[in-house]
């Protein structure tokens, strides 16, 4: 991971105390990202609103479909819990990196990042950490307030399950990050990288469980979602968090699928980066 293709650009006398210096680098990158975000607090709040609008709309429509009964094992309170979990997990695993990478490549903003003594991917990772700490704590705070007055969205107090969900969320975040970053790297070859990613997002509306829990989709579609990386990227951690996935074999299998796809996308990312950077001709700034 470390240095990567940026390694040859490192000054000859670069420090070799790699451990400590990576911690420092991440500390600095995180601090910078945090301060930038602080400057755009209101803008972040608006992105957050957009992020929760869609699950809320889906929730209210399912609410009216379910009425007093249940559809596919989901009654009103199950839907509420499901979509609240979607909002939280989505904020924690959000990956907007495609928009940045695409611009870095097309407008030459990649140039100064290449002369830094580390791969630009680390800046993106630090950015993600800073944003997610902020937005997720906001969603958790709102959730706690809502849960105080509305029992339906309360989660059972099961530390083991929360730990299990945390692992699934971390894997989902890594997976979505790699998918988004890799799509961004397509900008080395085409100006329509963001367009390609939007098609991916369109499909993930269904396959990641944003419109409905996968159990309510046609079985064939749900199967495709599980075989590909889509369920791993959102629905699976949501199902773990809401208690739909038993903590035995089904959980282990889900984690294995997540890890497998994360590795696959890690390989795709490395290939795209190494080939792309070789053909990259900087745009003057």
Partner 1 sequence: MSGRGAGLSGHGGRLSGRRYAHVLGAFWQVSLAEELQYRGNFLASLLNTVFWMAMALLTAGVFFRQTDALGGWSFWQVVVLLGVFNAVAGVVEGVLRPNIGKLVEHVRRGSLDLILVKPVDAQFMVSFRQLVFWNVSDVLLGLGLSAYGLHRLHITPAALDIAAFAIAVCAAVAIVYAVWLGLMTLAFWFVAVENLAVLFDALYETARFPVSAYPPVLRFLLVYLVPIAWITTVPAGMLTGHGSLLRALEAAGVALLALTLTRLLWRAALRRYTSAGG
**Using rule CB under 8 A, residue 202 touches partner 1:** yes
Site for partner 1 in 165-194 (CB under 8 A): 192
**Using rule CB under 8 A, residue 216 touches partner 1:** yes
Site for partner 1 in 44-73 (CB under 8 A): 46-47, 49-50, 53-54, 57, 60-65, 71-72
Tokens of 7: 């390694």
Dist. CA 148–CA 173, nearest whole Å = 28
> In the bound complex, what is the minimum distance in angstroms from residue 151's beta carbon to partner 1?
18
Q: Kindly indicate which of the ranges 7-15, 127-135, 196-204, 250-258 contains the residues binding partner 1, using the contact rule CB under 8 A.
A: 196-204
CB 261 within 8 A of CB 232: yes
Dist. CA 48–CA 85, nearest whole Å = 15
Q: How many residues bind partner 1 (CB under 8 A)?
A: 31
Q: Is the dihedral of CA 266, 268, 274, 279 positive or negative?
A: negative
**Using rule CB under 8 A, residue 39 touches partner 1:** yes
Dist. CA 208–CA 7, nearest whole Å = 37
Residue 67-106 contact track with partner 1, rule CB under 8 A, x = bound: ----xx----------------------------------
Dist. CA 142–CA 146, nearest whole Å = 6
**Using rule CB under 8 A, residue 259 touches partner 1:** no
- Which residues of the shown chain bind partner 1 in the complex (CB under 8 A)? 39-40, 42-43, 46-47, 49-50, 53-54, 57, 60-65, 71-72, 192, 195, 198-199, 202, 205-206, 211-212, 216-218
């Amino acid at each position: 991971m470390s240095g990567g293709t940026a390694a040859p650009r490192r000054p000859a006398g670069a420090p070799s105390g790699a451990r400590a210096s990576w911690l420092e680098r991440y500390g600095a990158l995180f601090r910078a990202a945090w301060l930038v975000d602080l400057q755009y607090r209101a803008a972040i709040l608006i992105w957050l609103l957009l992020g929760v609008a869609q699950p809320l709309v889906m929730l209210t429509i399912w609410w009216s479909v379910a009425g007093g009964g249940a559809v596919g094992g989901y009654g009103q309170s199950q839907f509420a819990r499901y979509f609240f979990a979607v909002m939280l997990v989505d904020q924690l695993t959000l990956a907007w990196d495609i928009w940045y990478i695409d611009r870095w490549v097309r407008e030459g903003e990649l140039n100064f990042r290449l002369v830094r003594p580390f791969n630009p991917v680390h800046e993106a990772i630090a950015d993600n950490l800073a944003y997610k700490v902020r937005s997720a704590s906001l969603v958790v705070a709102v959730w706690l307030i809502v849960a105080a007055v509305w029992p339906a969205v309360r989660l059972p107090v099961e530390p083991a399950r929360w730990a299990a969900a945390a692992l699934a969320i971390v894997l989902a975040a890594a997976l979505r990050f790699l998918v988004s970053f890799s799509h961004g790297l397509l900008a080395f070859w085409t100006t329509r990288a963001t367009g390609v990613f939007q098609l991916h997002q369109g499909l993930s509306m269904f396959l990641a469980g944003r419109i409905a829990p996968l159990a309510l989709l046609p079985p064939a579609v749900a199967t495709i979602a599980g075989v590909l990386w889509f369920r791993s990227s959102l629905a699976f951690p949501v199902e773990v968090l809401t208690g739909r996935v038993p903590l035995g074999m089904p959980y282990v299998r889900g984690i294995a699928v997540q890890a497998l796809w994360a590795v696959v996308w890690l390989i795709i990312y490395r290939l795209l980066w190494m080939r792309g950077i070789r053909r990259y001709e900087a745009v003057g700034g």
